[in-house]
Structure 1
């Protein structure tokens, strides 16, 4: 594997710059987190199993969506072995910081909210003890029982003051669009702890969550994958038209793993509709595209290919990529986007924003430590 190299004109040096990856899926094995659960739930699991809803669809890769080469030497599940992740990805690619996003959000689709809260706490404790505290490059995400805002707020307060837990994370499958005032206590807690609210694709049409699309359930995984932007679009419109960013002007929201370029025509549509119909939502003071630029981030994974460089450049401008786009690898999933070849050639300043500064600003991370120079 090769790191990212930026050639310096007029020198023989190649500067290998570190970067921030905003989506690394460490394996949150239910068997591993079981020990962190209260005894009452451990006993229930021993008797009746985990009682958690699962995916309706196949995936790519192996073992439910993983890279074939990501199985560690021990034979464990991909993403479960920190030493192997260091060797395969963190070290050779010169990752400065990696934001851990876990692998199991099923507790967010169960109707038993107390059970969901217990599992969320267990996963958060496991993430801290077994991952974040073992490598200072890794930062954790706070999983919450979003079905119950009161319990979700308790979870944010429990872990929100920890410097290495840098965001709140939820699945895109939800009982209500995320702009709904039902969720406002969660955003108040996020703002209090200065934490972004990240929506990661998963759990649509599962458990208590409604169907994968407004037209009902789809039949196959490629269909499900194609409809991910529809779900994110619903959440995005909800945040804006419900006035969330007027009530919580500093709240930052991340749309993760639904692609990025679909956002451009959607913003054009929302701006046009807002202009024509804003008398219905007078609390929305600005164009939707303005709220997007100031309060929303999107992940680069999976980045949609364009027919040519010119269109790519236009789409990057249309989504305000210099302010909104975060590099995400999705390691160790089968559709992993390598930092060395995901993007066509970028201007140096834009590369810096996407691969480092946007995430550093969002997650309150330090400036890059240094440049690693290799003389050739």
Structure 2
């Protein structure tokens, strides 16, 4: 990439990964100013007159406005808003063969105005298709849905879920009910129809109509909210299993994104233990909870916990079945971006390949590496 020093332009060399990867969480900019042209006229006029009327922004963030200092395009504009700069700054140097776009801002998931939420989701999806997916074949999209209205959500999934450049359905972790609740069944039926994973990305907890940040209530600081993210994902994970979602929809895959990783190990131990004692109450749960996690759920790496030593790291990786369940994500361009060069300790070749490519390729129905298809060494 190019930078300036003393007014002179110079080239900054970045190390490049030899083997290509799949990045499961790239936040392209989807602010109101870029999606508004895709809204129906009545909503454009309302936004112009009254503003966006969306919940959000309860806590301060990290970095510069929550973004890396060097992620802002040199020509101006928000981080993640310039495809050419993203290519130069992240996709090319990190050898990203495929990147899953996850947008910015989930305020639509907290509004009580379901029709407005649906319009915002459609506008976000249409903007992404035209300005991102059509411009770089490496990029795959996420279907934003108004998850607080499952029937409208299913309609949006059916509208674009069959496209080859759409990889998943995405919602915020902030919700009205835990996601295993039968209220959401129309969404899962649509996901199964189109073979799309259902991804829960952190955000929106305690915002608008969504439940409080924690089981104890609202928190004061961003660090508290960040620390509570596993608690929210725990509720969703248990809900999927004990409500019997994976018995009703055995092919459905669920991705837990950006809420940490290693908390899952002791939580699965606890769920397995309690299921053995209480399974008479949920006879439709045919397998141990850990088995449902292993077959139907996936977790992304960012932000992975730093363990006291390598032995603990390896034990935790084994305990969450990482070779089958873990997928890399960078969280670009957020302030806590994880470089694929530094995110994890050195892994053996097979595990590295599963985490950085193959697990995501399997769940998103993506091909093997181009280098492998071409018969070259990757």
Does the alignment reach a TM-score above 0.5?
Answer: yes
Pair 1:129-2:130 in alignment? yes
Is the CA contact 1:55–1:203 (under 8 Å) kept in the aligned structure 2?
Answer: no
How far has the Cα of 1:46 moved from its partner? 1.3
Is the CA contact 2:125–2:143 (under 8 Å) kept in the aligned structure 1?
Answer: yes
Is the CA contact 2:298–2:326 (under 8 Å) kept in the aligned structure 1?
Answer: yes
Is the CA contact 2:102–2:170 (under 8 Å) kept in the aligned structure 1?
Answer: yes
Tell me the residue number matched to 1:204: 205
How far has the Cα of 1:3 moved from its partner? 2.1
Tell me the residue number matched to 1:116: 117
Partner Cα distance (1:232, 1:373) in 2: 39
RMSD value, Cα: 1.0
Q: TM-score, normalised by structure 1?
A: 0.95
Tell me the residue number matched to 1:165: 166
Partner Cα distance (1:288, 1:274) in 2: 7
Structure 2 unaligned regions, length at least 5: 1-13
Pair 1:3-2:22 in alignment? no
Partner Cα distance (2:351, 2:306) in 1: 18
1:119-174 superposed Cα distances (whole Å, 9 cap, x missing partner): 00000000100001100000000000001111000000011111101100000000
How far has the Cα of 1:55 moved from its partner? 2.1
Spell out the pairing of 1:320-359 with structure 2 (5 A cutoff). Answer: 320-359=321-360
Tell me the residue number matched to 2:194: 193
Structure with more relative contact order (C-alpha pairs < 8 Å, separation 6 or more): 1
How many residues were matched structurally? Answer: 362
How far has the Cα of 1:373 moved from its partner? 6.8
Is the CA contact 2:371–2:377 (under 8 Å) kept in the aligned structure 1?
Answer: no
Partner Cα distance (2:38, 2:94) in 1: 33
Q: TM-score, normalised by structure 2?
A: 0.95
Tell me the residue number matched to 1:44: 46
Poorly superposed stretches of 4+, deviation over 6 Å: 371-374
1:288-341 superposed Cα distances (whole Å, 9 cap, x missing partner): 000000000001000100011111000000000000000000000010000001
Tell me the residue number matched to 1:19: 21
Partner Cα distance (2:51, 2:77) in 1: 21
How far has the Cα of 1:2 moved from its partner? 1.4
Q: More displaced, 169-178 or 158-167?
A: 158-167
How far has the Cα of 1:54 moved from its partner? 1.3
Tell me the residue number matched to 2:139: 138
